[in-house]
């Protein structure tokens, strides 16, 4: 069974820091990988999707990469802001059973002014 | 506006009383999926559907049923709800397998 680990579970940093959030899968056969943010009491907002043929994606201050050989993904947040405070979730799609998706438990990020 | 809608948003019910949570998308997406989110456990997939009349079990399908009779709708049915099904439920959809998922706003279910 696929297990997804996100490290760290929580992170509290001052504004302006560059951050690295990690996600790893026990089964490295990941087809797609998507990063989401979730604000308290809210739904999920898609941040970045790394498709099967890609290795990384960038959007503004966010960059996500996927190493398929190891089953690890990294979300890099540059110049963090208080508005970045949220829980960040990674979600991988099984390469052997398309449609089966697995979420990590998230990294709870707090950026203080 | 492209969106995934869920109804109801909040529901309190009692053990054993059948209920249905509806999910609808207006983006003509083939793929739809249901998740539950519990503190400390994260999001877990319940059922998913790759297209009309095609459904498959996710991680935690026990106690749930789904149907996909038309492309836009993917209802989640709890035939005999139990307190351990108290959770926050999310529906999601996407086009095919190479595109991002879009999530509904969530349904908070409490089973007494």
pLDDT of A94 reads 84
pLDDT of B16 reads 96
pLDDT confidence band for B85 (50 / 70 / 90): very high
Mean pLDDT of all residues in B46-54: 96
Give how far A51 is from chain B: nearest CA, Å. 6
More confident position, A22 or B99: A22
pLDDT of B109 reads 98
pLDDT of B81 reads 97
**Measuring CA to CA, how many Å separate B102 from each of A44, A59, B7, B34?**
8, 17, 16, 12
Residues of B in contact with A42 (CB under 8 A): 105-106
Nearest to A101 among B33, B99, B104 (CB): B33
User: ω before A8 within 30° of 0 (cis)?
Assistant: yes
Residues of B in contact with A45 (CB under 8 A): 103
Mean pLDDT of all residues in B22-48: 95
Give how far A88 is from chain B: nearest CA, Å. 11
Residue B74 backbone dihedrals phi, psi, to 5 degrees: -145, 80
Question: Between the CA atoms of B78, B64, B105 and A57, what dihedral angle is there, to the nearest 10 degrees?
Answer: 180
Residues of B in contact with A89 (CB under 8 A): 42-43
User: ω before B8 within 30° of 0 (cis)?
Assistant: yes
pLDDT of B97 reads 67
Residue B42 CB neighbour total at 10 angstroms: 19
Q: Are B97 and A31 in contact (CB < 8 Å)?
A: yes
Per-residue pLDDT reduced to its tens digit, B69-83: 999 999 999 999 999
The number of CA neighbours under 13 Å toward the Cβ of A47 is 26
Mean pLDDT of chain A: 93
Mean pLDDT of all residues in A59-88: 95
**Which residues 6+ apart lie within 8 Å of A21 measured at CB?**
A6, A7, A8, A11, A74, A75, A76, A77, A88, A107, A109
Binding-site residues on chain A for chain B (CB distance < 8 A): 31-32, 34, 36, 42-46, 49, 51-52, 89, 91, 93, 98-106
CA dist A13 and A85 (Å) reads 10
**Which residues 6+ apart lie within 8 Å of A93 measured at CB?**
A30, A31, A32, A33, A99, A100, A101, A102, B97
For the sheet containing B4-7, what is the strand order?
B4-7, B19-25, B76-78, B65-66
Give how far B99 is from chain A: nearest CA, Å. 7
Residues of B in contact with A88 (CB under 8 A): none
Nearest to A100 among B43, B58, B90 (CB): B58
Mean pLDDT of all residues in A89-109: 92
Mean pLDDT of all residues in A39-59: 91
**Which residues 6+ apart lie within 8 Å of B1 measured at CB?**
none
pLDDT of A14 reads 97
DSSP labels, B30-93: SEEEEEEEETTTEEEEEEEEEETTEEEE-S--TT-EE--SSTTB--EEESS--GGG-EEEEEEE
Q: What percent of chain B has pLDDT over 70?
A: 98
């Amino acid at each position: 069974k696929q297990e997804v680990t996100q490290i760290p579970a929580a992170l509290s940093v001052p504004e302006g820091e560059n951050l690295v959030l990690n996600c790893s899968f026990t089964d490295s056969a990941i087809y797609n990988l998507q990063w989401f943010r979730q604000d308290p009491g809210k739904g999920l907002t898609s941040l970045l999707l790394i498709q099967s043929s890609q290795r990384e994606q960038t959007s503004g201050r966010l960059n996500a990469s996927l190493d398929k050989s190891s089953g690890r993904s990294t979300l890099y947040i540059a110049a963090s802001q208080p508005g970045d405070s949220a829980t960040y979730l990674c979600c991988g799609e099984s390469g052997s059973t398309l449609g089966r998706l697995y979420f990590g438990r998230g990294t709870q990020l707090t950026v203080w002014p | 506006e492209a969106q995934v809608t869920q109804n109801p948003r909040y529901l309190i019910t009692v053990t054993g009383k059948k209920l249905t949570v509806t999910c609808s998308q207006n983006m003509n997406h083939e793929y739809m999926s249901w998740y539950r989110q519990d503190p400390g456990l994260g999001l877990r997939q319940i059922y998913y559907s790759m297209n009309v009349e095609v459904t498959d079990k996710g991680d935690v399908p026990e106690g749930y049923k789904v149907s996909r009779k038309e492309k836009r709708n993917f209802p989640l049915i709890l035939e005999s709800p139990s307190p351990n099904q108290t959770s926050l439920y999310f529906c999601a959809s996407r086009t095919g397998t190479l595109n991002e998922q879009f999530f509904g706003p969530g349904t908070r279910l409490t089973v007494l």
